[in-house]
Structure 1
Amino acid sequence: MADIDFSQEISELRSTLSSIEDVSDVEGIRAEIAELSEQAGAPNLWDDPDAAQKVTSKLSHRQSDLERITRLESRIDDLEVMIDLAAEENEPSLLDDAKTELESIKKSLSELEVVTLLSGEYDPRDAVITIRAGAGGVDAADFAEMLMRMYLRWAEQRGWSTKVMDTSYAEEAGLKSATFEVNAPFAFGTLSVEAGTHRLVRISPFDNQGRRQTSFAAVEVVPLIESDDSVEIPESELKVDVFRSSGPGGQSVNTTDSAVRMTHIPTGIVVSMQNEKSQIQNRAAALRVMQSRLLLLRKQEEDAKKKEMAGDVKASWGDQMRSYVLNPYQMVKDLRTNHEEGNPSSVFDGAIDGFIDAGIRWRAEGRGNEED
């Protein structure tokens, strides 16, 4: 352990944490917590349940943000004490523990540093993810289902709640499309870098000749609409169809016409919902997702106008952003950041933090270049 300069390492940890605290505006967070705590303590808080829920939820999130920073301060202090004690008692096992904790703190700081890069207008929102099978037939439908499982597993591992809102099953296997919510602070900002076209290369399990197949799936990520976003959609711009919900292979799972397909006529955006129990609930869920997509579309149009005015109309995202190769070799590679992993099975089990962190840093660098 003599090759590690713990004094230098701790100095760098404190410097990194100090930078994060400056960017995060810790004093501002404390002031916001004090204000929200005062609102939460008001005797008439629950006279308006929706407003009360918003206050208590925001208070909980801000307290969590502050705790994450203060906990790291304590861990660095404890690490310094552990190192001093190991030196005094000449105890190698304590130095081993110190090295393990040092690496753990570095990882936590890196994750926290990534969060500070989520500065977009809608980054703090919950996310709505839609996955659609692309070219590749039944393999593409199977790939879409693999991606959905990957994101749900990833969210589960982080303790983030999810809600599947719609699933449209393919005839033979997999999904034509699926839509689900991820409910957590900064879920949209975190997952928005996953939007784009994903490609899978493998020996097709559906090909009796065992040929290699390339298939595609599209991932769309939009921020969840909030009540004060004021995205009004005139009824005249909406076409609403109702139909019977169905499960895998066309099996009926609902004997009433409760599923809803909503089309925004001016843009052609289509949203389907069938996982709620009633037509009214499915319609409300479809409208919320439609509003979310129109909100993001409005933001994209505003950004495009700004770029055009600046004389820069180049696209930020390529059509194909990540490849999952299972044959002739094993590799998952992001084509924007060049981040890669050699264990596709682990990635499909939800181990995508490396890709997401690299994507957020890559995007932040791009935004910085645009502002220069």
Structure 2
Amino acid sequence: MELLNIKREVEKLSNILRLVEDCLEIPYLASRIQNLNQLIDKQTFWKNPTSAHQTLEKIKSLIHDRQEQYQRSHFLLEDIKAAVELLELLDDEQLLQEAQTNLSQVWEELDKVEIRQLLSDTCEKNQAFITITADLSSVDAQAWALMLFRMYYLWAISHGYKVFPVDINKPDEPNIKYALEITGYYAYGYLKSEQGRHARILRISPFNGNGRRYTSFTNVEVSPILDESVEFEIPEKNLEIILPPPQGNVNRRAVWVGVFHLPTGITVFCNNERNQLQNKDKALAILKSKLWVIMQAQGVNQIAKIKPKEITSLSSNPVREYVLHPYQKVKDLRTNLETTAVAEVLDGEIDLFIKAYVQQNNS
């Protein structure tokens, strides 16, 4: 990119950043953060833990989601302007490359601002729990589910999220499920667009000696990790706790726990923690998040109002098609966005699909 083009990009970005400043109301945010910090300093602040938690979340949201993101873009743009002034006086290839890199980073930051402005629904700022389940227990289907697990893991890491694999499989169950707990702002807002019969892959099976084209289907389910601001409890009378049968060897006692929700028939197993109490708590948290998604889909605000007969599997809606042979293409079946960069997508570069879906839903 020549210096003249960089100057044009800087002018364009400066205009966009001014619009962003107006949209985000930066001076108001600074004042709002100051007021909230004054609340924290009061001795009565922690007397109401729920209210205190909500206040802290507001501060984090205002600082992390808006103010800091704007400031990063602003400072990067100032660095680019300084670099342009120097480049007009001297020929420095390294400085030119640094300016080009910073330009790309500013565009990426502004893309994030644009998407996050569109993510305004309840719990979209929350962390996320994602489950990947192959339709069949065949080797091909399980291998495809594992590829998707890797894709989401790499996506989360590249966005600075903390990622924790979770074992939610019932012992001796043939159909293996892969699950990730992704912690960080807007994880659920981004990833809920991935929910559905997300993957359909067409390829020559490496496990089939006849070399036939093989199609694998995998369901992806995404739910938010709920915090204290979401207040609802599951009545104990509606729960059945499933524990492993007694074993003779007390030194190798199984600690997995299953939680069965009687009204909806949803069962969650957890074998991730060190003891049964922790696994039970984790399973209940996952069940609660699944029920919350159902409540949102049905437009109700109480678990008791869920209509079990009207529960539809959101993870069965077609989302994307991946073709690996005889040609390569990934196509989103909702937005019709396509790319031939299959390897990059499977390495976690799925932002183009997320952005297109979010924009389409808010148009």
Letter paired with 2:195: A
Letter paired with 1:321: V
* Corresponding residue SS for 2:335: coil
* Corresponding residue SS for 1:10: helix
**Does structure 1 conserve the Cα–Cα contact (< 8 Å) formed by 2:200 and 2:215?**
yes
**Does structure 2 conserve the Cα–Cα contact (< 8 Å) formed by 1:137 and 1:215?**
no
TM-score normalised per structure 1: 0.80
Structure 2 vs 1, CA of residues 163 and 99 (structure 1 numbering), >3 Å: closer, same or farther? closer
Partner of 1:310: none
Unaligned segments of structure 1, at least 5 residues? 245-251, 304-315, 366-372
Query: How do residues 1-372 of structure 1 correspond to structure 2 at under 5 angstroms?
Result: 4=4, 6=6, 8-41=8-41, 59-65=59-65, 66-87=67-88, 89=89, 91=91, 93=93, 97-135=98-136, 137-168=138-169, 176-197=176-197, 198-243=199-244, 255-302=252-299, 319-365=317-363
| Cα deviations by residue, 1:36-62 (Å, 9 ceiling, x for unpaired) | 433555578789999877766664454
TM-score normalised per structure 2: 0.82
**Does structure 2 conserve the Cα–Cα contact (< 8 Å) formed by 1:136 and 1:216?**
no
**CA distance in structure 2 between the partners assigned to 1:97 and 1:163 by the alignment:** 34
**Pairwise CA distance, 1:272:** 1.2
**Pairwise CA distance, 1:34:** 1.9
Letter paired with 2:258: R
Letter paired with 2:192: S
**Pairwise CA distance, 1:238:** 1.3
**Pairwise CA distance, 1:290:** 1.1
Unaligned segments of structure 2, at least 5 residues? 301-313
**CA distance in structure 2 between the partners assigned to 1:228 and 1:82 by the alignment:** 46
Percent identity between the two aligned chains: 33
| Cα deviations by residue, 1:247-278 (Å, 9 ceiling, x for unpaired) | xxxxx9x9324211212111122211110111
* Corresponding residue SS for 1:116: helix
Partner of 1:369: none
**CA distance in structure 2 between the partners assigned to 1:359 and 1:346 by the alignment:** 19
Letter paired with 2:183: N
* Corresponding residue SS for 1:243: coil
**CA distance in structure 1 between the partners assigned to 2:207 and 2:49 by the alignment:** 51
* Corresponding residue SS for 1:128: strand
> What is the number of residues matched between the two proteins?
345
**Pairwise CA distance, 1:83:** 2.2
* Corresponding residue SS for 1:263: strand
